[in-house]
Structure 1
Amino acid sequence: MTRFGTALVVALLLAPAPAAASSTSARVWITTPDGTQLLTAGRSVAFSGSGSGKPTIVVDPHRRFQTIAGFGASITDSSAAVLHRLAPSARTAAMESLFRDDKLSYLRQPIGASDFVDEPAYTYDDVPAGQTDYGLRHFSVEHDRAQILPLLRQARRLNPELRVMGTPWSPPAWMKTNQSLIGGRLIDSPAIYRAYAAYLVKFVQAYRKEGVPIDALTLQNEPQNRTPAGYPGMDLPSWQAAEVIERLGPMLRAAGERTKILGYDHNWSTHPNDAANTPPDSVADINHYPQELLSSRAARWVDGTAYHCYYGDPSAMTALHNEFPRTDVYFTECSGSQSSDPAGTFSDTLKWHARNLIIGNTRNWAKTVINWNLALDENNGPHNGGCGTCTGVLTVKQDGTVTRNAEFYTLGHVARFVRPGAVRVASTSFGTTGWNGRIMDVAFVNPDGSTVLVAHNENDDPQAFAVQYGGRTFEYTLPGGALATFVWRGHSTDRPLAPTGWTATANPPADAGLAVDDDASTRWTTGVGQAAGQHLQIDFGRVQPVRRVVFDTGADVGDYPREFTVTASVDGSRWLRVPAAQSGQFVQAALSRVRFVRIELSAGAPGNWWSVADVRAYR
Structure 2
Amino acid sequence: MMKRLVFLLLIILCFFLLLDRFKEPPPLANSWLTTGDEQHLLEKQPAKLFQDEKQDVPTIYIDQHKTYQQMEGFGAAVTGSSAYLLEHKLTTKERDMLLQDLFTDSGIHLSYLRHTIGASDYSVDDTGNPSSYTYADQQGPAEDPLQHFSTAPDQTVMNMLKLAKISNPELRLMGTPWTAPPWLKYGEHTFNGSYLNYTEQRTYEIYADYFIRYLKAYQAEGLAIDLLSVQNEPQFETAAYPSMSMGAAEQQYFIQNFLGPAIKDAGLDTAILAYDHNWENSKDYAETVLNGALDYTAGTAYHCYAGNPGDTEEIHLLHPDKGIYFTECSGGAWSEDFGDNLSWLMDQVIIGTTRNWAKTVLLWNLALDETGGPTNGGCTNCRGVVTIDSQTSSIKKNVEYYALGHISKFVQPGAVRISSTELPHLSTAAFWDQKEEKIIMLAANTSDSTQTFQMAEENQYLQYTLAPQSAITFVWDK
TM over 0.5: yes
Matched, 1:406 2:406: no
Counterpart of 1:487? Answer: 475
Asked whether the 8 Å contact 1:427–1:442 carries over to 2, the reply is yes
Counterpart of 2:250? Answer: 240
> What amino acid is the match of 1:480?
P
> What amino acid is the match of 2:37?
D
Counterpart among 429, 437, 444 of residue 422 in structure 2 = 429
3-state SS of paired residue (1:51): coil
- For 1:172-194, what per-residue CA distance to the aligned partner results, in whole angstroms no more than 9, with x for missing partners? 00110131111111111321111
C-alpha distance in 2, partners of 1:370/1:133? 39
Instruction: Report the Cα offset of residue 23 of structure 1.
Output: 4.5
Counterpart of 2:9? Answer: none
Matched, 1:26 2:29: yes
Describe the shift of the 1:198–1:407 C-alpha distance in structure 2 as closer, same or farther (beyond 3 A): same
- For 1:433-457, what per-residue CA distance to the aligned partner results, in whole angstroms no more than 9, with x for missing partners? xxxxx11100000132200000000
Higher helix residue share? 2
C-alpha distance in 2, partners of 1:399/1:132? 50
Instruction: Report the Cα offset of residue 30 of structure 1.
Output: 0.4
Matched, 1:225 2:236: yes
Counterpart among 87, 93, 107 of residue 89 in structure 1 = 93
C-alpha distance in 1, partners of 2:222/2:33? 36
Counterpart of 2:180? Answer: 171
Instruction: Report the Cα offset of residue 57 of structure 1.
Output: 0.3
3-state SS of paired residue (1:42): strand
C-alpha distance in 2, partners of 1:166/1:173? 19
TM-score by length of 1: 0.70
What's the Cα RMSD here?
A: 1.7
Counterpart of 1:325? Answer: 320
3-state SS of paired residue (1:350): helix
Counterpart among 289, 295, 309 of residue 291 in structure 2 = 295
Asked whether the 8 Å contact 2:252–2:290 carries over to 1, the reply is no
Q: How many residues align?
A: 444
Instruction: Report the Cα offset of residue 201 of structure 1.
Output: 1.1
3-state SS of paired residue (1:369): strand
- For 1:548-598, what per-residue CA distance to the aligned partner results, in whole angstroms no more than 9, with x for missing partners? xxxxxxxxxxxxxxxxxxxxxxxxxxxxxxxxxxxxxxxxxxxxxxxxxxx
3-state SS of paired residue (1:203): helix
Counterpart among 191, 199, 215 of residue 181 in structure 1 = 191
Q: How does 1:277-356 map to 2 (within 5 A)?
A: 287-296=283-292, 298-339=293-334, 342=336, 344=337, 346-356=338-348
Describe the shift of the 1:250–1:487 C-alpha distance in structure 2 as closer, same or farther (beyond 3 A): same
- For 1:325-366, what per-residue CA distance to the aligned partner results, in whole angstroms no more than 9, with x for missing partners? 1111000000112235x4x2x323211111011000000000
3-state SS of paired residue (2:113): strand
C-alpha distance in 2, partners of 1:20/1:99? 39
- For 1:169-218, what per-residue CA distance to the aligned partner results, in whole angstroms no more than 9, with x for missing partners? 00000110131111111111321111111111111111110111100101
Describe the shift of the 1:191–1:25 C-alpha distance in structure 2 as closer, same or farther (beyond 3 A): same
Asked whether the 8 Å contact 2:327–2:361 carries over to 1, the reply is yes
Instruction: Report the Cα offset of residue 249 of structure 1.
Output: 1.3
TM-score by length of 2: 0.90
C-alpha distance in 2, partners of 1:482/1:393? 18
C-alpha distance in 2, partners of 1:22/1:413? 27
Counterpart of 2:461? Answer: 473
Counterpart of 2:373? Answer: 381
C-alpha distance in 2, partners of 1:123/1:36? 45
Q: How does 1:517-528 map to 2 (within 5 A)?
A: none
Runs of 5+ consecutive residues of structure 1 not aligned to the other structure: 1-18, 271-285, 432-437, 491-619
Counterpart among 106, 109, 112 of residue 115 in structure 2 = 109
Q: How does 1:19-168 map to 2 (within 5 A)?
A: 21=24, 23-84=26-87, 85-100=89-104, 101-118=107-124, 119-127=130-138, 135-145=145-155, 147-168=156-177
Asked whether the 8 Å contact 1:45–1:476 carries over to 2, the reply is no
Instruction: Report the Cα offset of residue 254 of structure 1.
Output: 1.5
C-alpha distance in 2, partners of 1:22/1:309? 43
Counterpart of 2:274? Answer: 263
| Higher relative contact order structure (alpha carbons within 8 Å, sequence separation ≥ 6) | 2
Instruction: Report the Cα offset of residue 287 of structure 1.
Output: 4.8
Asked whether the 8 Å contact 1:310–1:334 carries over to 2, the reply is yes
C-alpha distance in 2, partners of 1:183/1:337? 24
3-state SS of paired residue (2:161): helix
Identity among equivalent pairs (%): 41
Matched, 1:443 2:430: yes
Asked whether the 8 Å contact 2:75–2:113 carries over to 1, the reply is yes
Counterpart among 207, 211, 218 of residue 218 in structure 2 = 207
Asked whether the 8 Å contact 1:168–1:220 carries over to 2, the reply is yes
Runs of 5+ consecutive residues of structure 2 not aligned to the other structure: 1-21, 125-129
Instruction: Report the Cα offset of residue 474 of structure 1.
Output: 0.4
C-alpha distance in 1, partners of 2:210/2:384? 29
3-state SS of paired residue (1:43): strand
C-alpha distance in 2, partners of 1:396/1:32? 23
Describe the shift of the 1:22–1:288 C-alpha distance in structure 2 as closer, same or farther (beyond 3 A): farther
C-alpha distance in 2, partners of 1:174/1:22? 68
C-alpha distance in 2, partners of 1:55/1:68? 28
Describe the shift of the 1:461–1:388 C-alpha distance in structure 2 as closer, same or farther (beyond 3 A): same
Asked whether the 8 Å contact 2:141–2:147 carries over to 1, the reply is no
> What amino acid is the match of 2:444?
H
- For 1:90-119, what per-residue CA distance to the aligned partner results, in whole angstroms no more than 9, with x for missing partners? 111111111112110011110001101222
